[in-house]
Amino acid sequence: MTPAALAARDRARIVLAFFAVYVVWGSTYLAIRFAVEVVPPFFMGATRMLTAGLLLYAAVRIRGAPAPSMTDVRTAALSGLLMLGIGNGSVMWAAQFVPSGILSLIIAGVPLWIVLADWARPGGTRPRSRALAGVGVGLVGIAILIGPRIFVGVGNVDPVGALVLVLGSMSWAIGSVASRHLPRPTSALISVSLQIITAGVAFAIASVVIGEWPRFAIDHLTTRAVLSWVYLVLGGSLIGYTAYVYLLSAVSPAKAATYAYVTPVIAVLLGWAFGGEALGPRTIAAATVILASVAITTGTQGS
C-alpha cells in the first residue's frame, strides 16, 4: 500500500474506534442495568468477560498471533485488573443502586483522574493550572450530582454506590496511564483478550466469595436481560474495549479521553427514554458542570 493509502486506512480505523467508544459504550450503561435486574452483578461480569476474552483469544491465535510471553501476561493482567476488574466492576455493582445515566456522569470524571494519575506516576508531568482548575470544577459537578443525600440524608443518588464509582474511576485512570508506560505486548489483541480474561477471573472469584452463584436461577432470566448480556459481550467487551485500547496507542490521552464528552449524553438520554430514569434539573446542572470540567481538563493536555 502507498503511504497515502496507509494513512487513509489508519484514519478510518481511528474514526471507527471513536464511534465504537462513543456510541457503543454510551449504551452499555443501560444494558448493564437491565442485565443486573435478574443476574447477580459479578456473576454476570464473570460470564460476560470470560466469554468475550476466550472468544477473542481463540480468534486471534487461529489467525496466527504468537503465544503471549510471561511479560505480556503480567502486563495484561495488571491493566485488566485495574481497568476492567475494578473500574468496570464498580459500574456493574453500583448499577443495582444508581441510575444508568448517573453512572455515566460519575464515570465521566475519568479524564480528571487521568490527569492526576499521570502527574503522580514516577517522572510524571505536573498538569497546567488550567487542567487543575478543570479537576476542581469536575469535583464540584460530582458533588452536585451526589449531594445533598451524602450530607443530609436526602436525594436520589445512593452515596455508597457513588463512592464505589468514584474509586472505580480512579482505578480505570491508573490502568489507562499504566498501559501507556508498561512494556508493549507482542500482540495488541492478545493483550486485550488477556485483560478481559483477567477481569472475568476476578469477577468469578468475587462472585463465589460473596455467594452470588446460589442466587442465580435460569428460570428468572428475561429476554431483556439475555439480550443485554449478549450486547455487553459483543459491544461492550469485544468491540468497545478493544477500540479503547487501540485508541490509547493510536492517539494522545487527551483525544482518547474525549469519549467522556459523548457517552454520558447517550447514557442519560437512553436511560430517560427506555429506562424510565428521571432527567431533573440537578442532573442537568451536574452534567453541564462535569462535562465542562472534562473539556477544560482534556483541552490543556495536548492533541
Task: Please say whether the beta carbons of 253 and 112 come within 8 A.
Answer: no
How far, in Å, CA of 245 to CA of 256, rounded? 9
Residue 181 confidence (pLDDT): 80
Give the chain's radius of gyration (CA, Å).
19
Residue 147 confidence (pLDDT): 64
Residue 152 confidence (pLDDT): 44
How far, in Å, CA of 268 to CA of 286, rounded? 12
Per-residue pLDDT of 198-244, as tens digits, reads 999 999 999 999 999 888 888 889 999 999 999 999 998 899 888 98
Distances (CA, A) of 69 to 75, 184, 191, 200, 261: 10, 11, 10, 20, 37
Domain positions in the chain are 17-298
Owner of C-alpha cell 465504537: 20
pTM for the full predicted model: 0.82
Sign of CA dihedral 24, 49, 251, 8: negative
Spans in the chain with pLDDT lower than 50: 151-154, 303
Distances (CA, A) of 216 to 92, 181, 236: 16, 40, 22
Residue 209 confidence (pLDDT): 94
Short-list 219, 257, 192, 203, CA closest to 59: 192
Residue 151 confidence (pLDDT): 47
Residue 257's Cβ-count burial label (10 Å; 0-12, 13-18, 19+) is buried
